[in-house]
Amino acid sequence: MGLLDFLFGSNTKKIEDFKKRDAVILDVRTQKEYDAGAISGSKHIPLNDVSSKISEIKQWNKPVITCCASGVRSGNAAKTLNNNSIEAINGGGWKSLEKKL
């Protein structure tokens, strides 16, 4: 168990559950970061645009796993989505999440 898992709890089981329910991977990094590498099939909405895209995200009608570079921005995005009645979890850094998928 890594330090971050100890502090914040491992979300591997939640990710597996969301994956079984055909969750959407939402990358909230900047366009430049996303263009440099991303999880295949992921959707991209920079964190600053998430709030204005809530109605679009709701239309996906699927749970959402957010990701970014380290997990901080994706944590903020997941909280914003949850506060708007969208089932979402923070998948953390995209490279780490990719390994869990």
37/73 Cα distance (integer angstroms): 17
Position 26 scores a pLDDT of: 98
What distance in Å separates the CA atoms of residue 40 and residue 25, rounded to the nearest whole number? 9
Q: What is the pLDDT of residues 20-39, one digit of tens each?
A: 999 999 999 999 999 999 99
Task: Write down the residue that tokens 């600053």 correspond to.
Answer: 48
- Do 69 and 93 meet the contact criterion of CB atoms below 8 Å apart? yes
Threshold 0.85, pTM exceeds = yes
Answer yes or no: is pLDDT of 7 > 80. no
101: pLDDT confidence band, cut at 50, 70 and 90?
confident
What pLDDT does residue 10 have? 59
Residue 3 pLDDT more than 70?
Answer: no
Q: Between 34 and 8, name the one with better pLDDT.
A: 34
Identity (one letter) of the amino acid at 34? Y
Q: Which two tokens stand for residue 83?
A: 């506060």
What pLDDT, in 10s, does the model give residues 56-88?
A: 999 999 999 999 999 999 999 999 999 999 999
pLDDT tens per residue across span 38-53: 999 999 999 999 999 9
Give dist(CA 53, CA 2) in Å, integer. 34
Domains, the chain: 3-100 (3.40.250.10)
Element (H, E) at 27: strand 24-27
